[in-house]
A and B are shown apart, each in its own frame.
Chain A
Amino acid sequence: MSDRPIHDIETDVAIIGGGTAGLNSAMAAAEAGCRVLVVDKANIVHSGAIAGGIDHFMAFLDTGEKWDTREAYLGYVASVAKGAADLDVHNAVYCDELAAALKRIERIGVSLRQSDGKILRTASMGQPGPYWINFNGKQLKPKMAMEIRRRKCTVLNRVQVTNMYLHDGEFAGFTGFNIRTGDFYRIRAKAVVVATGNTNRMFNAQTGNPFNLWYCPANTGDLHRAAFDVGVALANVEYVRMTIVPKGFSAPGFNAFFGMGAQLVNALGEPFMEKYHTMGPKAPRNVMVWGALQELKEGRGPIYMDCRHLEKKDLEHLFFTLGIDKDTLPDFFRAKGYAKNGAMIEMTVSEPMQARPSELCGSGIRIDRTCASNVPGIYAAGDASDQMGCLHMGFAGGFAAGKHAAAYAAKTKALRPLNAGAMKDEEARVYTPLERKSGITYREFENVVRVITTDHFGPVKTETSLTGALEKLDRLDSAKAELKADNLHELMRTHEAMNIHQVAKISALAALARKESRFQPFHYRADYPETDDEKYCGLMVIRKQQNGEITTHLDRLQYAI
């Protein structure tokens, strides 16, 4: 172990996670004159949720329509994300940053317009007007990576962050290892932005393969876990997010289908969403999932995306745009034999995941209007925060987080020290699975976690089911001492598996404390099936105290709009 190269790096602002939010944070911190270091488990050219492309960005554009204003947008947020979205934070990190974000996308070389020069906007998910800008974002991530190079940020690709450290209650730094060389990194920074997305591979997936997922399977809650362990408060982590995906392939496409006027129908050919919401197929996502689950449960499945009534040009646009959001989805439809005309595409409910209950909030590190967590020096952005979700907030809010982290770094005189003993201990912990000749693989361990979570809260929960899950997940702690990895790829997966396991516990504990249902089925307590705004309209905040005790409390949210 002692012959592994060790790298000590110092910077002003470190960004952990080089996806949409992280790269925008990096741009902002560099613009503020800071030395910036971006650390990503993959390569920032193609990493994170939009690694293969993206085709929609939510925005109000002040065109004069009454739904197209900041106030109307915030009213929409309040109506569909009540109890999870903090409007004060939204106003600061998204609304104030939106105009600059739209300009930034086009400046780095991605047009938000169609070939005719016009902006194409569509509506779904309970929006009062067409807030989605449909665009060709296939090159958005590579172009953002070019901008990071242009701004001379330092990038550490293929480094998995393993733990965070404080000094006198303030952020000091973090450790990590290179997943190809095995080199160990000890990094000190004045401030950090955590932008590592949500937690996937936490529940069983539709085909049984935990990598056939809607969201990026490399996002495994690594920093949710590490931040939580140093006392960072998390919120909205009790929610279990799902969507409607093509049967066999958990790929995005939901927005594109409904935006183009496709209908979700049951096996009897009936469009069923009107039964569940007045907005029918344009209802919020959780209602769509709830409706689909009821149809499947009551024997009216399978369900289909009925595209038979679409005009040829709309169908062609639909298949084109599906391939922007998920590069290989058109190949899948061809392989399944779906013709372009008259397709009835079989759909299903996706795997659950630890993620935001709505497009209009996040699930993770609790942030204030400056994107700061409760620990000085630690900021969060994008899906890893409790308030940002989706491309629009990752892009706009990521920039806000970078600005505030840079301001904090500027007023911080000196880097804080990393404790030498803690560094030695972490180095030993990180590489131990490589030294075991026999033991349990990450595949087996992760599968056990998924069976427990799916059986006990994926998605239906009760006090009994959650308590049972926690007992089983706690018993699994002892298996960690037997995890083995045969190479560095497996070592990365092994640490991911342990993080998924810990986030599952945190999610179950937060779910126990919310004794109501909200955004059902995303938080559906069968023992408390009603939404109780009087007691639970707010964020369930969970954190580990200095004595190790885990506590929860409700941060109430007010909605004047």
Chain B
Amino acid sequence: MPAVIDASKCNGCELCDLYCPVDVIHMENEVAVVRYPEECWHCGACRQECARGAVSIEFSLAMLSV
């Protein structure tokens, strides 16, 4: 998982969805969801824009292991 959103911290402001340059974050029931985690560029735009600190970055097994 790349960008990971803590649903309990998300206030539904939609900024991460709005600004993701690769369209991987979508709103579902007023909570931001990383719908296409395998297409994340790890650019950090979502984390930069989140005022609630709900976005963290995790790296895949391949990225950490190869």
User: Interface of A with B (CB < 8 Å)?
Assistant: 42-43, 45-48, 51-53, 138, 158, 179, 206-209, 211-213, 216-218, 247-249, 251, 326-328, 331-332, 335-336, 489, 492
Contact = CB atoms under 8 A, between A and B. Distances in A.
Nearest to B22: A218
A458 to B, nearest CB: 18
Interface in B34-66: 35-36, 38-45, 47-49, 57, 59-60, 62-66
B22 A209 contact: no
Given A42-B21, A212-B63, A216-B22, 13 more contacts: A42-B23, A52-B41, A52-B43, A52-B45, A52-B48, A53-B44, A207-B60, A208-B62, A212-B41, A213-B41, A217-B22, A248-B64, A326-B43
A211 B19 contact: no
A45 B60 contact: no
A317 to B, nearest CB: 19
A47 B21 contact: yes
Contacts of B20: 42, 46
Contacts of B21: 42-43, 46-48, 51, 216, 218
B41 to A, nearest CB: 5
Task: Give the bracket for the number of chain B residues in contact with chain A.
Answer: 20 to 34
Contacts of A211: 22, 38-41
B18 interface: yes
B42 A46 contact: no
B63 A42 contact: no
Given A52-B48, A209-B38, A209-B62, A328 B18 contact: no
A-B pairs with lowest CB-CB distance, top 8: A327-B44, A52-B43, A46-B45, A207-B62, A46-B19, A51-B21, A42-B21, A248-B63
Contacts of B47: 327-328
A489 B23 contact: yes
Given A212-B63, A249-B63, A335-B59, A328 B22 contact: no
A213 B20 CA distance: 16
Contacts of B23: 42, 158, 179, 218, 489, 492
